[in-house]
Structure 1
Amino acid sequence: MIGPRTGRAIAAAMLAATTAVAGQAHSSGMNQGAALQAGPVAYVNGMPPVMDHNAYLHALLDEFEARYGADGGQFRYDGQAWYGTDYDKLWLKSEGTVGTDGRFGDGDHEVLYDRAISRYFDVQTGVRVDIDNGPTRAWGAVGVEGLALYFFNLEATAYFSDRGVAGRVQGSYDLLLTNRLILQPQVELNVYSASDRARGTGSGLSDIDTGLRLRYEWRRKFAPYIGVAYHGTFDQAASMARGQGARVHDLNFTFGIRTWF
């Protein structure tokens, strides 16, 4: 998948290459249009235009999986979608789990305005609403998302409400074993300034969800995968989980599909 930040980087490289070809053609007396094998082009300050103001729609279902472990099984999804240009977008994010009892948990749904601040990073601001079988909570949100060094996908978001503040850091990396076989380590950490017993979150480091998934891109837009996933709760959140008879550390085998359009 080519994300918006990677697309901007590729566009910049293509622009530099195009300009170099045009310059060589000019110095040798060739017509630039013939050298580029294109029709009439409107140049601005001697530079060809970059198509970065068109609006696009993109959706990614990053996790759509079943998990099996000592605590039974559960279904988990994690997806996002955006609509807009390379510079301004409306971003939607949603994730959650469904247990063997049919209860929907860990429901996190966000609506964000996204603005590019560099070639590789965007700033995002909007609202997050926790909607599942537990009490509903609403948060304001502000954060950054982009490609860190070596194209490491990174998200860091701060949330605030009348119940305090919270933070989330997510990261993943695609390691290409072959052209179609990809190994992806992933991690998500959540911290809170205050505990919320009704939702099972504790102050400090509340929980970690991490995994290692091996996917095969049978089609570029459709990739089945297998892997292992770990979910752990800590400090106050762990005490709450023990009080409810739930596991504090849970290691699962997982399989699912990843798709996008």
Structure 2
Amino acid sequence: MKRFAHAIAVTLLLGVAGQATARHSVHAAPPQHPPHDATPPPAADPRTATTCSPEHAAMGHCTPPATPTPPAPCSPGHAAMGHCTPAPAPAGCTPEHAAMGHCAPAAAMPREPVPPVTDVDRAAAFPVLAHAGMVHAPARYTRVTLHRLEGWEDDGQHGAAWDASASTGGDIHRLWLRGGGERAGGRTTASHVELQASRAVARWWDVFAGMRHDIRPGEPRTRAALGVRGLAPYMFEVSATAYLGAGGLSAELEAEYDLRFTNRLVLQPSLELELDARNDPARGTGRGLSTAEAGLRLRYEVTRRFAPYVGVVHERAFGATARARETVGGHARETRVVAGVRIWF
């Protein structure tokens, strides 16, 4: 009896030990990967499938469902290359979000629809011009200019000088009447008048030809005139004239420049040179550079047509011309302060 009870106790102990060993092997053994050629297990029935917690997934008891990857945002650069299509702009896209590229503002719709353009609208926008009703500049115009009318006082004697011109014609061909002279000590010391015909040969440049009649000094005489005048670079007004007659060949060179301080205040430097090809005792001139006159006049244009001025003028004679002036009691050099007016109409 004792032997039979001992056998039963040993059998129970061995059964309990075997169950504990099997339970430990189930939890401790690592999961076995199926061979490559093994058939995958059948899909779980959604009706009997349970939620796979992270703990069971870590122990290999189940496989968590795949989480869908959100699509990457479509940037303007990728959209321009055709790699993706940007999402439509949400409602209420503010200018700040549009500037950062987060959205695109919707096109502003007009409050009132724009009507289509009709033939009546086109006719009103582009009317047929009537040339008879247009005002054109006159083809011929006349202008009179008193360039200088000035006076001075030197050694108790009063003097005056003038330089004027009148022209008529168009922009290409014009007819000119010019004149100038001086008075000193109550008598006229120099006086001349010219008749010229000019033609425009380039922009701002004319050539002219005509006749000049000298009244003083000496006996009156007439000479032919040929020259060119115009606007040189840097806005210099220049003129060069050659004279040919009984007294031989002579020439006059003139240059002026208007330096504007304001719209009305103008400083005008000027230079005049006279040259002779031979001595002319009857008129008191010598060969070469006979006289040079430099002036500096400051004028104020009260209107464009009326401008009083003050200035200083220095005149010098050279060579035989200087000796001829000193012989009759004149001066080879002379500086005078002048005041005058400039008028045109």
Q: TM-score, normalised by structure 1?
A: 0.79
Q: Secondary structure at the match of 2:316?
A: strand
Q: How does 1:105-184 map to 2 (within 5 A)?
A: 105-132=189-216, 134-184=218-268
**Map of 1:7 onto structure 2:** none
Q: 1-side partners of 2:190 and 2:131: how far apart? A: 52
The offset of 1:106, in angstroms, is: 1.9
Question: What RMSD in Å do the two structures reach over aligned CA positions?
Answer: 2.5
Q: Secondary structure at the match of 1:242?
A: helix
* Preserved CA contact (<8 Å) 1:33 1:40: no
Equivalent in 142, 152, 174 of residue 67 of structure 1: 152
Off by >6 Å, runs of 4+ in structure 1: 30-33
* Preserved CA contact (<8 Å) 2:311 2:339: yes
Q: 1-side partners of 2:123 and 2:265: how far apart? A: 41
* Preserved CA contact (<8 Å) 1:208 1:233: yes
The offset of 1:33, in angstroms, is: 10
Q: Secondary structure at the match of 1:236?
A: helix
**Map of 1:244 onto structure 2:** 328
Q: Secondary structure at the match of 1:245?
A: coil
* Preserved CA contact (<8 Å) 1:103 1:133: no
Equivalent in 37, 42, 56 of residue 141 of structure 2: 56
**Map of 1:5 onto structure 2:** none
**Map of 1:89 onto structure 2:** 174
The offset of 1:70, in angstroms, is: 4.2
Q: Secondary structure at the match of 2:190?
A: strand
Question: Structure 1 or 2: larger strand share?
Answer: 1
Question: What are structure 1's unaligned runs of at least 5 residues?
Answer: 1-29, 43-48
Q: TM-score, normalised by structure 2?
A: 0.61
1:40 aligns with 2:125: no
The offset of 1:50, in angstroms, is: 11
Report the number of matched residues. 224
**Map of 2:312 onto structure 1:** 228
Question: What are structure 2's unaligned runs of at least 5 residues?
Answer: 1-120
Q: Secondary structure at the match of 2:225?
A: strand
- Tell me the alpha carbon deviations over residues 49-84 of structure 1, each in whole angstroms, 9 at most, x when there is no partner: 996771110111111000223473310001111100
Q: 2-side partners of 1:50 and 1:203: how far apart? A: 54
Change in 2 beyond 3 A, CA 1:70/1:119? same
* Preserved CA contact (<8 Å) 1:62 1:79: yes
* Preserved CA contact (<8 Å) 1:71 1:250: no
* Preserved CA contact (<8 Å) 1:33 1:39: no
Change in 2 beyond 3 A, CA 1:139/1:112? same
The offset of 1:209, in angstroms, is: 1.9
Q: 1-side partners of 2:193 and 2:124: how far apart? A: 49
The offset of 1:40, in angstroms, is: 2.5
**Map of 1:11 onto structure 2:** none
Q: 2-side partners of 1:32 and 1:94: how far apart? A: 57
* Preserved CA contact (<8 Å) 1:155 1:170: yes
Equivalent in 140, 153, 161 of residue 76 of structure 1: 161
The offset of 1:205, in angstroms, is: 0.5
